[in-house]
Structure 1
């Protein structure tokens, strides 16, 4: 299970940020900016998750973040993060599995969008 996934982008940094944000939105997340310039992505219902835990189905609340940084080569790096403890605390093993699935699907969507746009230099999953 990956806890973070780094995407190294070539080209314009602002365009790269927009592509990443749109890819995350395409997975059903509401996306807002963080004070540090990253993205906060949420989907599902807090109330349903608290009451039903892992049995909340599509309403299971998942939160992911994307942090942006620049590497030594001047490339934009988009780091998709998740908090596994939150999934486990909210829904036990089922919640952890739902959080993992959402994370993997979102990482795949970001990679596909960046590849299609021709700006994905490389990517690395962190376990």
Structure 2
């Protein structure tokens, strides 16, 4: 289970940030800015997840953050992060699996959008 995924993006940094945010939104996430200039992406219902756990179905709550930094080559790095304990706390083993699936789907969506836009230089999964 990956806890983070780094996307090394080429070109204009602001355009790349908007691409990541737009991809998250198009995948059903509500996206807000973090104080450090990153993104907080949330999907599902916290209340339904607290009451029903993994049985919340489509309303199962997941949240991820995206931190932005610049590497030595001047590329924007978008790091998709997940809370490893969050899914298990919300829904046990099934909740952890649902969170992992959502994380992998989200990472794949960002990679596909960046590749299609011609800005993906590299993508690395972190454990």
TM-score scaled by structure 2? 0.98
CA distance in structure 1 between the aligned counterparts of 2:101 and 2:29, rounded to whole angstroms:
14
CA distance in structure 2 between the aligned counterparts of 1:27 and 1:83, rounded to whole angstroms:
19
Deviation beyond 4 Å, 4+ runs, structure 1: none
CA distance in structure 2 between the aligned counterparts of 1:2 and 1:18, rounded to whole angstroms:
24
**Residue 121 (str. 1) matches residue 101 (str. 2):** no
Give matches, 1:20-99, under 5 Å. Answer: 20-99=20-99
TM-score scaled by structure 1? 0.98
CA distance in structure 1 between the aligned counterparts of 2:7 and 2:48, rounded to whole angstroms:
32
CA distance in structure 2 between the aligned counterparts of 1:10 and 1:76, rounded to whole angstroms:
7
Deviation for aligned residue 1:25? 1.0
CA distance in structure 2 between the aligned counterparts of 1:97 and 1:55, rounded to whole angstroms:
12
CA distance in structure 2 between the aligned counterparts of 1:73 and 1:42, rounded to whole angstroms:
31
Note the residue ranges of structure 1 that are not aligned, 5 or more in a row.
none
* Aligned-residue CA RMSD (Å): 0.5
